[in-house]
Amino acid sequence: MDLLRLLAQASIRQWRRHPLQLVDERDLIKPWAISLVAREALAGGLHAPGGERPTSSVLRRLDEMVISLQDPLLLGSQESVGHDALAGYMLRSSYQQFPYQQPIFGDTARMRPMLKRPFPRPKYQVLSDAAIEELLGADIDTYTDLAPFFLAAVMSNNGSFHRSWFDQPNFTKICEGVPKEQILKVYDTRLSAPLAAVRRAARSGRHARPELRQHDFNPLIDSPFIILPDGTGLAPLPTFVTGRFSMAALYYAGQNRYGTQFTIELGYVNEAYTVEQLMQLNEAGADVHGEIMYREKKQEKSSVDGFVVYPDQVVLVEVKSLRPAMDQRLDPVSYAERLRRDIGKAKDQLVKTYNLWHNRHAAFAALPTDGRAVRGLIVVPEPLYLANHTMFGQDLGSMPFPTAVVSLTQLEQLVAVAAAERSGRIFEDLTAGSQYLVADPTAALAAARERSGVAVHRNDILDASFDAMRWQRYWNQLDQ
């Protein structure tokens, strides 16, 4: 447990040094190394020689150990590294390291505007306010409001959380905002698990190939607080605490409880939220439309989910609830096949809508027919690292118009830039691509930041969610 406490302290110190950038090459140990070392410590795979108590001097050594772990790419001949071997290495490295380079708080802010909406029957069969409260341990407002509380608690207490805190006088105001029993219900339901249970999870399901075990699922993602025998909760990596306050936590909990129907209905929510984000551009030089219904062979069908019309271009937007399974994040053939299957459906929908529109179908009469440029967006809930890379997204290169795959986080950033600039330039930059990329959201957003001189473009929907927080001072504390 001393090593886990040391990892928590290191993670907290690094976060405080650069709160908007969780990864810094000068850090003694990288976040993904902390994650891997914590899991192996739980699984019993790490032992200090002679019972030596770990100190900060070992962090650099542990980081180097993670860097030096063998990968299947390194097991073959260096003279004959093939396409699949290189693609696999890129894929595994991306999903191991890129999650720690994402914006920290957007996932939490997104929960409120996504889930505070009607869920009318029969379209929604299982998703409801009651189902959300059952899965999260609280209504969506309370759950979202608790995110800064739990994070501030671990950031201020070296990664520890004690149930006894609520009996202290300084917690009176907190309990007036949310009852103690409610806070602890969220803690017990979504954030914690006993040491023995986390240890069993860390030891189970190990990959058959030892060199791939570094990419095994980390049970701390699902239970960031390990409940120690004395009742203390310990979070070795505070970023996993924020991860529980996200749509991903609800997605997997709902999938386990209700099955496929729940994930289908969250897909409806993703579509509605995407259009709501785009609608912000109606006040910034664009004309935004939702899906268009049309008839084909006496059946009513729907177009892509959204249209963003600018004087110089039209952006067609299709939403797909695609999340690749763990094993597909290791195997490039499976990953590419999953992209071809699911992204292929989005591609087909974009092309079909484009053809109906350009063939002057009456249902699309509101859209311009003057030959302005056309671009496509495929929006997915979580980042699909490398989906825009030519090595994986070859099908996108065959589209009749430039098309990009973006996550909800990237969509929010793109909308914020387009709103601030009052133009669609960001969509043009996004789909420009390069030698190896059919589209490049990172480069487009970096260019926009350079043009404006601001580090972060504000998204009004996310800002409104933050402003609704009951405990704003906790966010302020984390920013200091």
pLDDT band at 171 (very low <50, low <70, confident <90, very high): confident
* 49 conformational bin, left if phi > 0, alpha if psi -120 to 50, beta if neither: beta
Residues 214-244 have pLDDT tens digits of 999 999 999 999 999 999 999 999 999 999 9
Average pLDDT value for residue range 262-271: 97
pTM for this predicted structure? 0.93
pLDDT band at 45 (very low <50, low <70, confident <90, very high): low
Report the SS3 class of residue 389: strand
304 close to 291: Cβ distance less than 8 angstroms:
yes
| Ordered structural domains, the chain, with CATH | 2-69+102-255+471-479 (no CATH), 273-439 (3.40.91)
Residues 421-443 have pLDDT tens digits of 999 999 999 999 888 899 999 99
Q: How far apart are CA 457 and CA 419, in angstroms?
A: 9
Residue 7 has pLDDT above 80, yes or no: yes
pLDDT band at 478 (very low <50, low <70, confident <90, very high): very low
Residue 190 neighbours by CB under 8 Å, 6+ apart = 136, 137, 244, 249, 253
Residues 349-401 have pLDDT tens digits of 999 999 999 999 999 999 999 989 999 999 999 999 999 998 887 777 789 99
Average pLDDT value for residue range 59-79: 84
Cα–Cα distance list, 210 to 69, 70, 205, 320 (Å)? 10, 9, 12, 34
Confidence at residue 84, expressed as pLDDT on a 0 to 100 scale: 84
Phi (first) and psi of residue 192, to 5 degrees: -140, 160
